[in-house]
Structure 1
């Protein structure tokens, strides 16, 4: 068991040690679905993670067990108030406010915008013959979706994209030095002012967007200005990490398995199921954590009060006790309730939206595959996976898309 602890510690601390995560996941699931590393207990089994997520003795707030929140910038303090980082009745109260923005009726309105934006972005990229899926599509598309939810004017979306990148950088590097923190706060002050401008506009002319709903809630005293700002930050933070990573992982799977491209072309309605299965196998959000505030029995052991449970979603999504033949890609699985979008009270509100966006991208690429030969020069050995521990997506994904007539004549490179 000591060798497994050592291997897991290297996996957590060193990007170079993450070259074969499924191999480590199998060892954990076979030998130690709950592994004691001292104050931290790594939980990798599906049912064990669900137990922790649903237990009233666990919280997302690390200060509940005496740990400090990361980050000291003004943006960091707002991030700490985002919905995924709140607990109990406070979380429930705020979640009710956000639910309407992700309702089936609202998603129906946004669906056409998602389709149009995906086409607008992908059509010239495909025609160019080569592009980077991450920088050219998987970053701007989630920003455009968040702008649609907030009803941000088209002419402002360039500025908003820059601020969204600011949010992402803050999440990935919460321990910036003093100079970097000051620069971050100065940029964030501009973003805060812009959100207040939108609120003033919606107060005068309310709409059905999230900003309008939040502006009303603030006027009625149900939230304060920091909560309102945290909602907006949350949309961009989740989009630029979870959805960006999810799109890259899904297209990677599509390019590794030509039969999936054909499936999505012949049966466009299957695209969301293909995207969903790619999230299970790829787990863009590799892990999360919970503070343990009282003893929690899990999988034949006990997580002691005051400890931290590190929840390894990526391993749980390959748990053979939940998913037969877990390393096989099967978009028609009978059991599709994986943990890529979380579980329980903190299950991602935007999961249906992510599936809609992912399905749209896969359908669009599959349709283009009838006329263009889609491939990537990357291999499993050369793919530049994220060096972050929590987020497991690709940093870049070059796509080659020559017309099939030229590809057949020997122009294709893959």
Structure 2
């Protein structure tokens, strides 16, 4: 067991030790779904994680067990008030305010805008013949999705993208020095002023967007200004990290799994299921931490009050007790309730939105495969995975999208197949969209 503890500790601390995550996950699930590392207990089994998440003594705020949150900037203070970092009745109260913005009716209303935006971003990239799926597409699309939820004018999206990146940097580097903290705060004040301008406009002319609803709630005394700002920050930050990682992971698995995009092209209604299965296999959010304010019995042991547990969602999503043949790509699985979007009270509010956006992207890529050979030159060995522990996406995902060669129309009796072509005159292609 000591060797497993050593391997897991290195996996958490060192990006170089994460070259083959599924192998470690299999070992954890077989030997120790609950493993004490001394300072923290790591829980990797599906049922075990659900037990921890649903226990009344489990909270997200580390201050509940005497651990201070990192970061001293004004932005860090607002981040600490985001919905995913609140507990109990406070969390329930705030979640009710946001739920309407993610209702089926609201999502249906913006579905067309999301698809149009994805198509507008993707078409010139595909036409260029090569691009980076992460930087050129998976970063700007989530910001556009968040802007649709907030009804932010399109001409402001470039500025908003910069502020979203600021929030993301702050989240990923909470231990910034004094100079960087001051720079964060100065730029964040510009963002705060912008949000207040939007609130003033929505107060005068309210709509069906989230900012309008939050402005009304603030006027009624249900939330304060920092709560309102934290909602906007949450949408931008969560979208930029989780959906960016989720899109990159989904495209990677779709391109490297034979037949995945063919399925979407032949049956477009399966796109969301394919995206969802990619989230299970790729787990863009690899893990999450919880503080324990009470003893939590799990798997024959007791996690003691006053400690912190690390929930390894990526391992649980490959737990064979929950998902038979867990390493196999199977969008038609009978059991699809994975943990890529969390579970319980903190299940991701934006999960339906992510599935909608992800499905739209896969349909567009699959359709492009009819005219282009869409592929990536990366392999498992060369894929540049994120060096962050929590977010398990790709730093970069180069895409090649040359147009398929078309044989010229024959002027005389042609041979059975054109030169260099497969049966029926179609070029034979490798993995990627359009491979048959």
Q: TM-score surpassing 0.5?
A: yes
| CA distance in structure 1 between the aligned counterparts of 2:276 and 2:406, rounded to whole angstroms | 33
Report matched runs for 1:329-348 at 5 Å: 329-348=329-348
Match of 2:247 in 1: 247
**How far does residue 258 in structure 1 lie from its aligned partner after superposition?**
3.2
Contact 1:377 1:413 in 2 (8 A): no
**How far does residue 300 in structure 1 lie from its aligned partner after superposition?**
0.7
| CA distance in structure 1 between the aligned counterparts of 2:179 and 2:36, rounded to whole angstroms | 38
| CA distance in structure 2 between the aligned counterparts of 1:86 and 1:315, rounded to whole angstroms | 25
Match of 1:285 in 2: 285
Q: What do residues 1-60 of structure 1 show as CA deviations (whole Å, max 9, x unaligned)?
A: 011000000000000000011010011000100001113110000000000000000100
Distance 1:406 1:289, change over 3 A: farther
Secondary structure of 2:297's aligned partner: strand
- Where does structure 1 differ by over 3 angstroms across 4 or more consecutive aligned residues? 406-410
Distance 1:406 1:187, change over 3 A: farther
Task: Indicate yes or no: 2:83 matched with 1:117.
Answer: no
| CA distance in structure 1 between the aligned counterparts of 2:39 and 2:5, rounded to whole angstroms | 13
**How far does residue 70 in structure 1 lie from its aligned partner after superposition?**
1.2
Unaligned runs of 5+ in 2: 408-419, 422-426, 432-436
| CA distance in structure 1 between the aligned counterparts of 2:379 and 2:171, rounded to whole angstroms | 29
| CA distance in structure 2 between the aligned counterparts of 1:57 and 1:154, rounded to whole angstroms | 44
Secondary structure of 2:356's aligned partner: helix
Q: What do residues 73-123 of structure 1 show as CA deviations (whole Å, max 9, x unaligned)?
A: 111111100000000000000000000000000000110001100110011
Report matched runs for 1:133-212 at 5 Å: 133-212=133-212
**How far does residue 155 in structure 1 lie from its aligned partner after superposition?**
1.0
Match of 1:232 in 2: 232
Q: What do residues 123-177 of structure 1 show as CA deviations (whole Å, max 9, x unaligned)?
A: 1000000000001110000000000000001111111111111111111111111
Secondary structure of 2:290's aligned partner: strand
Unaligned runs of 5+ in 1: none
**How far does residue 406 in structure 1 lie from its aligned partner after superposition?**
7.2
Secondary structure of 1:328's aligned partner: coil
Match of 2:373 in 1: 373
Match of 2:315 in 1: 315
Task: Indicate yes or no: 2:133 matched with 1:106.
Answer: no
| CA distance in structure 2 between the aligned counterparts of 1:91 and 1:376, rounded to whole angstroms | 42
| CA distance in structure 1 between the aligned counterparts of 2:180 and 2:371, rounded to whole angstroms | 47
Match of 1:10 in 2: 10
**How far does residue 288 in structure 1 lie from its aligned partner after superposition?**
0.2
Match of 1:272 in 2: 272
| CA distance in structure 2 between the aligned counterparts of 1:369 and 1:261, rounded to whole angstroms | 8
Match of 2:412 in 1: none
Secondary structure of 1:388's aligned partner: coil
Match of 1:77 in 2: 77
**How far does residue 209 in structure 1 lie from its aligned partner after superposition?**
0.2
Question: What is the count of residue pairs matched by the alignment?
Answer: 414
| CA distance in structure 1 between the aligned counterparts of 2:369 and 2:167, rounded to whole angstroms | 34
Secondary structure of 1:399's aligned partner: strand
The two structures have a TM-score, normalised by structure 2, of 0.93
| CA distance in structure 2 between the aligned counterparts of 1:308 and 1:161, rounded to whole angstroms | 34
**How far does residue 413 in structure 1 lie from its aligned partner after superposition?**
10
Contact 1:400 1:413 in 2 (8 A): no
Task: Indicate yes or no: 2:364 matched with 1:364.
Answer: yes
Larger Rg: 2
Report matched runs for 1:20-99 at 5 Å: 20-99=20-99
Secondary structure of 2:217's aligned partner: helix
Let me know the Cα RMSD of the aligned residues. 1.5
Contact 1:262 1:366 in 2 (8 A): yes
Q: Which structure shows the bigger proportion of residues in helix conformation?
A: 1
Distance 1:26 1:413, change over 3 A: closer
Match of 1:262 in 2: 262
